[in-house]
Amino acid sequence: FAERRCSDDGRWEGKGGVINEQTDAPSGWTNYTPCFTPEMLLLLQKLYSGNEEDAK
């Protein structure tokens, strides 16, 4: 299941459990990581282990 958290003031929390008015979307952040298969998680881990050029 995907995961979202609501802050004490009723707004969706941003990534890392904080609300940043300047960088977070009004709809908050949703963690879809639990929805991925182990194989997909490994692929994402490899993709983001290098620099941005390597990911292209």
pLDDT tens, residue by residue, 7-27: 777 677 776 665 566 555 666
What is the spatial distance between Cα 40 and Cα 38, in angstroms, rounded to a whole number?
5
pLDDT tens, residue by residue, 27-56: 666 778 888 899 999 998 888 887 667 656
Is this model's pTM higher than 0.95 or not? no
What is the spatial distance between Cα 14 and Cα 28, in angstroms, rounded to a whole number?
5
